């Protein structure tokens, strides 16, 4: 396959959220945080293989193979950055769910294949591919229904100590992200994106 001729199909936010929710309901019956590593290795039987300097060599934190037998992950993140590692796994799960047929044709099996794919694919198409997987990961690790409930609880606690009624919502969300992110096992940045995204589905 010539990577430079790839055309990534558009997938809307609502569809991505629905697919993430469906996948989570199928593989995770417990509360947050969602144990993505358990889902990948035990339930989906996909091996997680740490690779030294994967990010430096190929410019990616993780990469799923085209036969879906393994996910290569940057060893530094695997050992030292739990939140980033978890998000990377959810991102690759996103490719597995959203782009399964597409990935089958890429024939990615080793580092040289990853390097060739990223080097040849059109940058705009690659951005579309990665954006979709990032959105899937965010929806998957941060269930919006759970987030709404926790946001209400935390706001009630904060309002007892501070008056934040006149502060704009994005500023409040940035403030809340630090409080809530640990419950989901994600970075405050990922949680802030999820909080700002709530309005898209509540309105």
Tell me: the pLDDT tens digits for 102-140? 888 888 888 888 888 888 888 999 999 999 999 999 999
Q: Are residues 105 and 160 in the same domain?
A: no
Exposure on the CB side of residue 141, measured as CA atoms within 13 A: 35
Give the torsion sign (CA, 44, 14, 123, 60): negative
Answer yes or no: is pLDDT of 153 > 60. yes
Q: Are residues 123 and 39 in the same domain?
A: yes
Domain that holds residue 153: 144-202
Q: How confident is residue 201, by pLDDT bands cut at 50, 70 and 90?
A: low
Answer yes or no: is pLDDT of 50 > 70. yes
Q: Are residues 31 and 95 in the same domain?
A: yes
Burial label for 167, CB within 10 Å (0-12, 13-18, 19+), is exposed
Answer yes or no: is pLDDT of 160 > 80. no
Predicted local distance difference test score (pLDDT) of residue 114: 86
Q: How confident is residue 167, by pLDDT bands cut at 50, 70 and 90?
A: confident
Q: What is the mean pLDDT of residues 78-101?
A: 95
Q: Can you tell me whether residue 100 is helix, strand or coil?
A: helix
Q: What is the mean pLDDT of residues 54-70?
A: 92
Q: How confident is residue 181, by pLDDT bands cut at 50, 70 and 90?
A: very high
Q: Are residues 194 and 133 in the same domain?
A: no
Q: How confident is residue 158, by pLDDT bands cut at 50, 70 and 90?
A: confident
Q: Are residues 166 and 81 in the same domain?
A: no
What is the longest distance spanned by two Cα atoms in the chain?
Answer: 60
pTM over 0.85: yes
Residue given tokens 């991505």 in the structure block = 16
Q: Are residues 165 and 111 in the same domain?
A: no
Predicted local distance difference test score (pLDDT) of residue 203: 52
What distance in Å separates the CA atoms of residue 201 and residue 203, rounded to the nearest whole number? Answer: 6
User: 71 or 105: which carries more pLDDT confidence?
Assistant: 71
Residue given tokens 């630090």 in the structure block = 178
Domain boundary among 121, 141, 161: 141
Size of the chain, expressed as the number of residues it contains: 203
């Amino acid at each position: 396959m010539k990577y430079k001729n790839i055309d990534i199909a558009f997938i809307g936010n609502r569809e991505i959220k629905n697919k993430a929710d469906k996948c989570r309901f199928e593989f995770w019956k417990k509360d947050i945080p969602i144990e993505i590593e358990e889902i990948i290795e035990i339930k989906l039987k996909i091996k997680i293989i740490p690779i030294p300097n994967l990010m430096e060599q190929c410019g990616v934190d993780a990469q799923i193979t085209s036969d879906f037998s393994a996910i290569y992950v940057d060893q530094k993140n695997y050992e030292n950055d739990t939140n980033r590692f978890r998000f990377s796994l959810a991102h690759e799960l996103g490719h597995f769910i959203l782009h399964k047929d597409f990935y089958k044709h890429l024939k990615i099996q080793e580092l040289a294949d990853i390097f060739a794919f990223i080097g040849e694919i059109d940058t705009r198409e690659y951005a579309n591919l990665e954006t979709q997987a990032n959105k899937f990961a965010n929806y998957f690790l941060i269930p919006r229904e759970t987030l709404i409930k926790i946001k209400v609880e935390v706001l009630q606690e904060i309002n007892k100590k501070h008056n934040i009624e006149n502060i704009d919502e994005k500023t409040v969300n940035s403030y809340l992200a630090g409080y809530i992110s640990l419950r989901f096992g994600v970075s405050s940045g990922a949680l802030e994106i999820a909080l700002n995204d709530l309005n898209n589905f509540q309105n």
